[in-house]
Amino acid sequence: MPDIADSEEALHDDDPQILRVPFEQAADRLDKVLACLLPEHSRSRLQGWITSGHVHVNGAVAKIRQTVGPDDVLTVWAQPAPESLAFQPEPIDFGVIADSPDWIVVDKPAGLVTHPGAGNWQGTLLNGLLHRYPELAHVARAGIVHRLDKDTSGLMVVARNERAQTHLVRQLQARTMGRRYIALAHGTVRAPGKVELAIGRDHRVPVRMAVERPIAPKPAVTHYRPMRRGTLDGATVSEVECKLETGRTHQIRVHMASLGHPLVADTLYGGRLAGGATRQMLHARALHFDDPGGGGEVEWTAEIPADMAGVMQQIDWEPAA
């Protein structure tokens, strides 16, 4: 077993920055003093370095609330910002339905973030794509053409080169790429319809999107049709197929909630937990697009994932009319 010195040598494998607290600096908490001496770094980042053992005071590992003063020697091993690791390959588990020299059709599992962002700089689908398909390092956003919410499962298409990416993005813009979803919604959805309400950031809750008084709204169109209905935990639910014309953040979730039919377990938009569901019951089941490689129209489907299928098995479905 390595001793402490060996462990620290492995932890601090880069040359450190040596700082001596100047005599004019009043004694204060270590993080505050470091913020004065290293103003190019945020205090929260410096606190992270202290917590992770990358700062020493007079040769000893520093503590977060430690006080330092004039003539103390600070040794700092600067660590990369989390966002600098965002585009690193990682072995991430996700399904691939099919691929070609121009595209990859991914079956994204629920719980996997599509693209790195604040709070999720690593462990995303993008990181996994770079690991499994290294050539995607040369394509913008690792070839990602459109996204799915973290807790929405199902099909996405990823481009393997810039030409294919441009072709697929133009299909999205022209609304010729077909995306169909299966959702479980609260209440009785009685007839097919269309929601055409612009979506933007909720002016009251930043993590939500909204159709009422939205910030920077963008046009959004969702077609829906009921498939069947039944009872789950004593309340009526409907299986609904949704087809997107546009692809706004949380679009189906917001539009269905606007009809008074939030998705089961989508607590952000008024859905209730039921049937053991731990995420919104929404699955991107079918995808079709024009093959950028000249193969014509291609279409793919993905099975309902096990967690959603388990909830659906608990529903007491009404007989077909």
Task: Give Cα separations from 116 to 92, 93, 99, 112, 124 (angstroms).
Answer: 13, 16, 23, 11, 6
Q: How far is CA 144 from each of CA 28, 83, 90, 153, rounded to the nearest angstrom?
A: 47, 18, 16, 16
d(C-alpha 163, C-alpha 102), whole Å? 8
User: Of 31, 102, 149, 307, which is the active-site residue?
Assistant: 149
The strand ranges marked E within the chain are 17-20, 28-29, 55-57, 60-61, 67-68, 73-76, 95-99, 103-108, 153-159, 178-186, 193-196, 199-201, 209-210, 215-218, 221-232, 235-244, 282-291, 296-301, 316-317
What lies within 8 Å, CB to CB, of 315 at 6+ separation is 184, 230, 231, 232, 237, 275
CA distances from 197 to 134, 176, 210, 217 (A): 40, 20, 9, 9
Phi first, then psi: give them for residue 129, nearest 5 degrees.
-65, -45
For the chain, counts of helices (H) and of strands (E): 7, 19
Residue 118 CB contacts under 8 Å (≥ 6 apart), including other chains: none
Non-local (6+) Cβ contacts of 6 within 8 A are: none
The partner residues of 55 in beta bridges, in order of sequence, read 76
N-term to C-term CA, the chain: 70
Asked about 149 being catalytic, the answer comes back as: yes
Work out whether strand 73-76 and strand 17-20 pair parallel, antiparallel, or are unpaired: antiparallel
> Which residues lie below 8 Å from residue 3, measured CB to CB, with a gap of 6+?
none
- Residues with a catalytic annotation lie at 149
